[in-house]
Amino acid sequence: MARLTEPVTVQVRHTEELSEKELHELRKMLVEVFGARYDDNAWDHCLGGIHYLLRYGDKLVAHGALVPRYMRQGDRVLRGMYGESMATLDDWCHRGFGSTIVAMATAEIRLNYDIGVFAASKYSFYERLGWDKWRGQTFVETEHGIEARGPDRGAVMFRLPRHSTVDPDGDLITNLRSGDPW
């Protein structure tokens, strides 16, 4: 692994603070990481929240977003954030950049929200950073009622603040959206 010679910086910005040029650069980077499965739905899901943009010099090499998402457990509506488009360019993996993004997002959730959730397939990466697989059943609220539904791939991962009263063995409900429901 080559030695880093440029500064590494992380910007924390809301979607509305990103310029058209920055949004274009971000989408290009995410398509490079995720390939053809990073469609318009995936792009739309990552907009409207907080972005963590990690750069090596001027190059965007890692990203993660937290977007507000409706979640409830029983009758209790939760103040929740949903992790979207967590990604590091392949050539920049195993340098701690992804861990940095996840740690910053985790701190935001633990300080300001009832729960953080996202769907993931690389469980061990997130578990070592304090995230767990949701143990209860997951549901989606549709116009026809509540339907049992998990993510299209992987598992729902969650992180709770230290003194949370959310039950990770209970049911978790979110709203229906286009693309992957979780």
118-137 pLDDT tens trace: 998 888 899 999 999 999 99
Please answer whether residues 52 and 99 qualify as being in contact, where contact means their C-beta atoms are separated by less than 8 angstroms. no
Give the Cα separation of 2 and 68 in Å (integer): 38
Q: In terms of C-beta density within 10 A (0-12 exposed, 13-18 middle, 19 or more buried), how is residue 33 classed? A: middle
Structure tokens at 167: 């039950």
95 has a pLDDT exceeding 90: yes
Q: What is the pLDDT of residue 35?
A: 96
> Per-residue confidence at 69, pLDDT binned at 50, 70, 90?
very high
153 has a pLDDT exceeding 70: yes
Give the Cα separation of 37 and 115 in Å (integer): 27
154 has a pLDDT exceeding 80: no
Give the Cα separation of 165 and 104 in Å (integer): 22
Q: What is the pLDDT of residue 38?
A: 96
Q: What is the pLDDT of residue 1?
A: 65
Which fold, 8-175? Aminopeptidase (3.40.630)
Say which amino acid occupies 124: S
